[in-house]
């Protein structure tokens, strides 16, 4: 069997184990009311830029783009549970996006564009998917989840019989 030449990739914020546990608890509370399929704890992340299928031969170029980012560490407070009815996705998001988050996203997009990478160009809406195939019912009160962002990652995605599987292809620290 031949080796793959492409992989689905995305830049993301990857939660620590502590944040991951809090997200898993929140997804359980939402699931009790909204039902649906919970996102597995080891796949929880907040996408920054979705690239789609990328030639593996360009992986070093992507890493070079990431290394150029000059964003300071920041904190997020995931304090808004909501869902998109059109695709039945339940998620958490910050009520306010820190300027550093937007600087990181737009900086990545600018550099990716300069290096002729294709990426999802829809307006950025920070969110972390907790449920799929959910029926967006009533509002569910949740405790805010604080998240100190100290790095971002490049992840590769593959589909398995058990859902998506992610492989971290690189990590980059943010400035202190």
- Asked if pLDDT for residue 155 goes beyond 90, the answer is yes
Query: pTM higher than 0.75 for the full model?
Result: yes
pLDDT tens, 47-81?
A: 999 999 999 999 999 999 999 999 999 999 999 99
Checking if the pLDDT of 165 tops 90, the result is no
Band (pLDDT 50/70/90 cuts) for residue 1 is: low
What three-state secondary structure class fits 120?
Answer: coil
Residue 149 clears pLDDT 70, i.e. is over it? yes
User: What superfamily does domain 6-173 belong to in CATH?
Assistant: Cyclic phosphodiesterase (3.90.1140.10)
| Inter-residue contact 30 to 68 (CB < 8 Å) | no
Cα 17 from chain centre: 15
For 26-53, the pLDDT digits (tens) are 999 999 999 999 999 999 999 999 999 9
**Rounded distance between C-alpha atoms, residue 83 and residue 86, angstroms:** 9
What does the block give as tokens for 89? Answer: 């996705």
């Amino acid at each position: 069997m031949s080796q793959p030449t492409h992989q689905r990739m995305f830049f993301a914020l990857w939660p620590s184990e502590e944040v991951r546990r809090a997200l898993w608890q929140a997804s359980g509370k939402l699931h009790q009311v909204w039902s649906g399929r919970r996102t597995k704890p080891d796949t929880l992340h907040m996408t920054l830029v979705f690239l789609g299928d990328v030639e593996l031969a360009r992986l070093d170029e992507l890493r070079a783009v990431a290394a150029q980012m000059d964003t300071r560490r920041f904190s997020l407070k995931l304090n808004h549970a909501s869902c998109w009815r059109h695709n039945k996705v339940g998620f958490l998001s910050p009520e306010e996006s820190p300027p550093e988050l937007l600087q990181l996203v737009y900086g990545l997009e600018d550099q990716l564009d300069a290096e002729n990478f294709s990426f999802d160009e829809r307006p950025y809406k920070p969110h972390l998917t907790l449920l799929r195939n959910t029926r967006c019912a009533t509002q569910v009160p949740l405790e805010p989840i604080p998240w100190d962002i100290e790095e971002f990652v490049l992840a590769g995605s593959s589909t398995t019989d058990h859902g998506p599987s992610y492989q971290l292809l690189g990590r980059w620290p943010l400035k202190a």
